[in-house]
């Protein structure tokens, strides 16, 4: 099936969000691996899982549009570089530093989702993106609150 220009733009937007979600999935996993506290490890693993679920949902939407979704088994060059950068930033760091990096990652996700919501998306796709954006906002707020508590301890 030949994709119309409108559909190509929607697929491009969704693939950007898939990459953002896969980035979050890998990033939160790195944070979970490097943090010592079991409660933070659990939070990061849950956020990683949520990002993976979001990516899979977006991949299904791209397929339904007749597009080729970002491949979940391959890591794009940019994603891989960001993951390696994150790994080097958090390795051996304290909880506050790791939470700072996680919050920075969520800031990027918020920006990408907000950009997607400014586009002319079909109602069903917009509903998915809006729901996921609200999840990103909740993740961001939770990470920020945990970071603030950690900062107050120091």
Q: How many domains does the chain have?
A: 1
Closest to 53 measured CA to CA, from 11, 25, 14: 25
Residue 122's pLDDT is what?
95
Q: What's the CATH number where 23 sits?
A: 1.20.1260.10
pTM above 0.85, yes or no: yes
Residues 6 or more apart whose Cβ sits within 8 Å of residue 29: 44, 45, 48
Q: Which domain holds residue 120?
A: 5-153
The string of pLDDT tens digits covering residues 7-58 is: 999 999 999 999 899 889 988 998 898 888 999 999 999 999 999 999 999 9
């Amino acid at each position: 099936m030949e994709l119309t220009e409108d559909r190509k733009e929607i697929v491009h937007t969704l693939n950007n969000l898939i990459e953002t979600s896969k980035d979050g999935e890998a990033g939160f996993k790195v944070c979970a691996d490097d943090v010592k506290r079991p409660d933070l490890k659990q939070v990061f693993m849950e956020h990683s899982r949520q990002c993976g679920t979001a990516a899979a949902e977006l991949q299904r939407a791209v397929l339904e549009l007749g597009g080729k979704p970002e491949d979940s088994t391959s890591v794009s060059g940019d994603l891989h570089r960001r993951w390696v950068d994150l790994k080097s930033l958090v390795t051996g760091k304290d909880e506050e530093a790791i939470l700072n990096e996680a919050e920075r990652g969520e800031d990027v996700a918020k920006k990408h989702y907000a950009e997607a919501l400014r586009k002319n998306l079909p109602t069903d796709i917009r509903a998915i993106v809006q729901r996921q954006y609200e999840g990103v906002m909740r993740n961001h707020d939770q990470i920020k609150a945990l970071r603030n508590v950690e900062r107050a301890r120091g």
